[in-house]
Amino acid sequence: MPKDGITTREHDYSQWYLDIVQQAGLADYAEVVKGCIVFKPFGYAIWELMQRQLDDRIKETGHENAYFPLLIPKSFIMKESEHVAGFAPELFEVTHIGNEKLEDPYVIRPTSETIIGHFYSKWVRSYRDLPLLINQWANVMRAEMRTRPFLRTAEFLWQEGHTVHVDEADAERETLMILHEVYADFAEREMAMPVIRGLKTEKEKFPGALRSYCIEAMMQDGRALQSGTSHNLGQNFAKAFDITFTDQNNTVQTAWTTSWGVSTRLIGAMIMTHSDDEGLVLPPRLAPIQVVVVPIHKNEGEKSAVMAAVGALTAQWKGRLRFKIDSRENLSPGFKYNEWELKGVPVRVEVGPKDLEKGTVALARRDMPGKAGKSFVPQEGLTERIEALLVEIQQALFDRALQFREARTAFVGSYDELKLQIETGFARAYWAGTSEDEKRIQDESRATIRCIPLDQPGVAGICFYTGKPTSQLVIFARAY
């Protein structure tokens, strides 16, 4: 039964998403600042868990964190022509300090390639300085016509990695390593969100990049969400910012750079991948609260007995489980069940007088809402049982999302089939068209090529649009 105040997915998917964000207490509109949101504590806690996991992976793969200025001289942004053209309309510009007008205005970073490029040109001298592997956790700002909490806001939080390499091969190795070992691994293992790893087409790539790679996920309305990008920037920024080094032969060479990022958009991706009409559904590995305990008692005598049992049961949880004991008075147990379901807590334990008699507890799993996911289990071995259940839920969420994506992905051999397929999901198609063809298809069908999957069967076929022979399969979808 859908919770009060949550629009069902079937009725209005957009509104459902907004309801979840609001009702689960993840974010609030910063109504006095256009296009921005407030990350409320529960939403920010999810981001902190994501950050921790990503930061570990980024460091394990050899990168160090640093921090560069929020303000970028406007002239820097102008230095790389494709980059300027890509970002110009979205820039916030700082023109004054107090009443004084600035000679040389700043922009608030929409991304930091340019200012980091400026410093890298000073830092890189020799091939021995390379590769230079730096990451930054930061906020960035891009003006957006239409905003949605987490998915698209004027200000968002992210990490951006910026690396410098001696040659194209090394830059490419970095770009792909991040895609696979950091982003795809994080998405699938921590978020329980299956992703397609792919290459962006020329039309869809990052402004200023040589090649852009991405992970794309399917949301429950069948639309695609770009969840992370990794760019081989070639020598474009190195040339614009004069990042050069002396090689083994004492010859001056232009360096190769990469950049890669994931943002708080991942929170939106996670919501839209797993949640249901009852509210938020969080994968256990990213749930700020993994287990909630609801004590049940009618009188003082029962209360002290139940609370003593709860204390004994949870004694060994600290450090093993993220848990909360909901001992709020004057709220009925039923109310609490609904509230924690709304907030997506993966596992709920109920302890009442009957459990004390029988040596049991009631154990409910959020991925099976309502009474369906509830069972009575012995108190004996509860901690291990819960740990195993969290692993099981994590896997079940991934499996369910993968099955959903597979069921909503189909090969299409004609334009008509494509137009139909992208109404509900992903269309796989042979493609040999141009950027102009792609643009025309977007105008006509609202679908774009999300990516050219890296995993290609390599079987010859015919492009559905141009009729040319090709073995290249791409994914078309409507995108967020």
What is the binding site for RNA (CB under 7 A)? 3-5, 14-15, 18, 29, 31, 34-35, 86, 89-90, 142, 144-149, 151-154, 156, 206, 226-227, 229, 261, 263-265, 296-298, 329-335, 337-339, 341-342, 350-356, 361-362, 364, 369-371, 373-374, 442-443, 446, 479-480
Least distance from C-beta 246 to RNA, angstroms?
A: 34
Least distance from C-beta 388 to RNA, angstroms?
A: 20
Residue 286 φ/ψ region, left for φ over 0, alpha for ψ in the -120 to 50 degree band, beta for the rest: alpha
Closest to RNA by CB, 131 vs 425, is 425
Residue 36 near residue 70 (C-beta atoms within 8 A)? no
Closest to RNA by CB, 105 vs 353, is 353
Instruction: Give the amino acid at 235.
Output: Q
Query: What length does the chain have?
Result: 480
Least distance from C-beta 355 to RNA, angstroms?
A: 4
- The 3-state DSSP class for residue 138 equals strand
Give 466: exposed, middle or buried? Use CB within 10 Å, 0-12, 13-18, 19+.
middle
Q: How far apart are CA 314 and CA 292, in angstroms?
A: 11
Please compute, for residue 455, the number of CA atoms within 13 A of its CA located in the half-sphere on the CB side.
6
Closest to RNA by CB, 145 vs 315, is 145
Closest to RNA by CB, 130 vs 151, is 151
Instruction: Return the structure tokens found at 43.
Output: 């939403």
Least distance from C-beta 242 to RNA, angstroms?
A: 25
Least distance from C-beta 34 to RNA, angstroms?
A: 4
Closest to RNA by CB, 162 vs 265, is 265
Least distance from C-beta 158 to RNA, angstroms?
A: 7
Closest to RNA by CB, 5 vs 413, is 5
Q: How far apart are CA 102 and CA 186, in angstroms?
A: 43
Closest CA to 342 of 3, 8, 15, 49: 3
Least distance from C-beta 195 to RNA, angstroms?
A: 13
Closest to RNA by CB, 18 vs 177, is 18
Residue identified by tokens 């429950």 is 220
Measured CA to CA in angstroms, residue 303 lies from 296, 308, 310, 352 at distances of 7, 8, 10, 9
- The 3-state DSSP class for residue 316 equals coil
Residue identified by tokens 């709860």 is 310
